[in-house]
Amino acid sequence: MGEPESYRSGASGLSKGAAGSGGRAMVVRSSSLETAAPVVGQVTDVDKDTFWPLVKGAGSKIVVLDMYTQWCGPCKVMAPKFQELSEKHLDVVFLKLDCNQENKPLAKELGIRAVPTFKILKDSKVIKEVTGAKLDDLVAAIETVKSS
């Protein structure tokens, strides 16, 4: 029941992106992407073109990136939990990247080897990584980075 909730803002874009039509660029939040000001309190869809501008726009805020695929079962289990974390940690920017063919260059640049993978960035640098559907490890990593 929570699964559609986590994908509601990009459901049509995700399926278009998976089909390769490039529909992912039509995320509703285009106005905030133009100013490269990431929004807190929610999960924002990113792609190879919007990721780095949003990370840079986050400034000194911590950024947590969920790298997933459409076909990944554990990714689907983590999606609503990731959404809940975004609503709890209002001082952290939460992004998600569909590691489809279109975004493969960025996924490769970030060194993804398995999905889901969560990258935690500070000052535009990856400082922690959690691989797998390990919510407790992800929460611990976020807390560690926030307290450092």
CB-neighbour burial class of residue 21 (10 A; exposed 0-12, middle 13-18, buried 19+): exposed
Q: Using an 8 Å Cβ cutoff, are 38 and 93 in contact?
A: yes
SS3 28: coil
Residue of 75, 107, 120, 138 with catalytic role: 75
Token pair in block for residue 76: 């689907």
- Assess whether 99 carries a catalytic annotation: no
Give the single-character DSSP code of 50.
Answer: T
Residue of 36, 39, 72, 145 with catalytic role: 72
- Assess whether 75 carries a catalytic annotation: yes
Q: Using an 8 Å Cβ cutoff, are 85 and 120 in contact?
A: no
Question: Looking at the annotation, which residues are catalytic?
Answer: 72, 75
